[in-house]
Amino acid sequence: MKIQNIKHSLLLLLIVFFSYCKKNEFTAPAIVPDASYPQVGTPYAGVVSSQDAIIYQVNLRAFSADASFKGVTARLDAIKDLGTTVLYLMPVYPVGVLKSAGGYGSPYSVKDYKGVNPEFGTLTDLQALVNGAHDRGMTVIFDWVANHTSWDNAWITQHKDWYQQDAKGDIIAPPGTGWSDVAQLNYANKDMRAAMIDAMKYWVYTANIDGFRCDAADFVPFDFWKEANDALKTITTHKLLMLAEGTRSDHFKAGFNLVYGMGYYFNLESKVFGANGSATILQDLNTSEYATAYKGSQIVRYTTNHDVYTTDGSPINIYGGKAGSLAAFVVTAYMKGVPMVYTGQEVGTTRDMNFFDHTPVDWTINADLVASYKAILNFRKGSDALKNGDLNVMSSDDVAAFTKSTDKEKVLVIDNLRGNNVTYNLPATVSKTGWKDAFSGAAVTLTDKLYLTPYKYMVLTQ
């Protein structure tokens, strides 16, 4: 999703489209027949379950000096070593020039849904990147932009009725957003919907990908997402992972495995850290964000992504330095849901990363921070309790605290979210002995009162 007026436009468009979807949620059109594109490569059999997802978001324009697919392929080992299991590529498609928003143009201004942006390389380069990720046991998802296209997309001249128009018959930009560089698609047109799903199928076969992260999903009607997810499931050779960027309550019902925890991020950044609000706010979100989740579906939680990095800044800046950014990430990655890491987050980059331009990350900085992210994510990757265990929350105003438990494993997290010393009163229900540090393996004995230095976190296992 582009960044112009994002926080205000989200609220407006949520109301409009939620009302639309409630009227149409049981009237999905027939499933689009399989396009039967030639399968490139062998479908990946190791696609992760929702619970096992640890997502790495690649901003292609920031990831390497030449902003290329090859630049990502060269660092696949580093991405895997971090502990991530899902490689999420921001849009790979040609970018529109007409009414461009500046720089190299927004990657979310799609000129051709079946094309490859030559800025990043060739289709062969992209296929090699996907194959390389699969060889390393990683699931690959593409960013999909269903709400709008660029103004020079061929659909505009060939199928004007595929777009929303004003009273004069002129195609319009997405209402209420300020996104003047893109044209709003018309989801009342069944032919456009069929073409959209056809293009999604094209990439499953042609690039051998494993699913999609669907941009601005709240702005697209429920019945289209239901139709698209159902149609993609007819590709029986592929297991697909589907992620909705949105907050609407019907995304799981539409067939998405994963949905963004936008409310979690807002409360973490603006209330807990920004306004010194109670850490209990975060645990309260577990009920609201999972209210409509199905068994096995998950909320994706993050401390940054391409949108909020641009509007709010680097995690280093907004969470109180390196230590604060790690404290914020521990509760985000461990309490509930699946974590997502954005390009450069693991090295603590603070440089401008406007995704309209080439802004390469310096991968040589903050090796200590990288080591911490590796420890946090790889422990989660191997912990059944963190992924599937029962959650028991016991946070104070300053400290996020909880246990995750299965019959075979128990994990205790105590995480000071303040930039000052705090005291945490250990609940009487939590045993004081039998713990070991999750990262070092050292034995740990707890006391009734725990004195925590600024942004100190403890992850213990039993």
Domain count, the chain: 2
- 1 is a domain residue: no
In the prediction, which pLDDT does 24 show?
Answer: 40
User: Which domain CATH number covers 295?
Assistant: 3.20.20.80
Identify the domain containing residue 288 by its residue range: 6-387
> 9 pLDDT band (50/70/90 cuts)?
very low
Q: Are residues 91 and 204 in the same domain?
A: yes
Q: Are residues 347 and 431 in the same domain?
A: no
| 282 backbone φψ class: left, alpha, beta (φ>0; ψ -120 to 50) | alpha
Percent of the chain with pLDDT over 90: 92
Please classify residue 149 by burial: count the beta carbons closer than 10 Å to its beta carbon, then call 0-12 exposed, 13-18 middle and 19+ buried.
Answer: buried
In the prediction, which pLDDT does 31 show?
Answer: 67
Which range is least confidently modeled, 15-24, 70-79, 246-255? 15-24
How large is the average pLDDT for residues 377-389?
A: 98
Q: Are residues 65 and 140 in the same domain?
A: yes
In the prediction, which pLDDT does 30 show?
Answer: 57
| 237 backbone φψ class: left, alpha, beta (φ>0; ψ -120 to 50) | alpha
Q: Are residues 235 and 343 in the same domain?
A: yes
Q: What are the tokens at 102?
A: 């500046």
Q: Are residues 276 and 326 in the same domain?
A: yes
Which range is least confidently modeled, 183-187, 256-260, 294-298? 294-298
pLDDT tens-digit readout, 137-172: 999 999 999 999 999 999 999 999 999 999 999 999
> 36 pLDDT band (50/70/90 cuts)?
confident
In the prediction, which pLDDT does 420 show?
Answer: 98
pLDDT of 349 higher than 90: yes
Q: Are residues 367 and 420 in the same domain?
A: no
pLDDT of 14 higher than 90: no
Q: Are residues 134 and 62 in the same domain?
A: yes
Choose the final residue of a domain: 351, 372, 387: 387
pLDDT of 23 higher than 80: no
Q: Are residues 212 and 227 in the same domain?
A: yes
> 17 pLDDT band (50/70/90 cuts)?
very low
Say if pTM beats, i.e. exceeds, 0.85: yes
CA separation for the pair 374, 84 (Å, rounded): 9
- 144 is a domain residue: yes
In the prediction, which pLDDT does 10 show?
Answer: 42
Averaged pLDDT of the chain: 93
Cα angle, residue 187 at apex, residues 152 and 101 outer, rounded to 5°: 35
Q: Are residues 324 and 437 in the same domain?
A: no
Q: Are residues 133 and 257 in the same domain?
A: yes
Q: Are residues 157 and 213 in the same domain?
A: yes
CA distances from 209 to 33, 139, 299 (A): 19, 8, 21
How large is the average pLDDT for residues 264-277?
A: 98
Choose the final residue of a domain: 387, 411, 438: 387
pLDDT of 181 higher than 60: yes
The DSSP letter of residue 176 is T
pLDDT of 20 higher than 50: no
Residue 333 and residue 402 in contact, taking contact as beta carbons nearer than 8 Å = no
How large is the average pLDDT for residues 429-447?
A: 97
How large is the average pLDDT for residues 341-369?
A: 97
In the prediction, which pLDDT does 176 show?
Answer: 94
Q: Are residues 302 and 401 in the same domain?
A: no
pLDDT of 133 higher than 60: yes
Phi, psi (rounded to 5 degrees) for 171: -65, 140
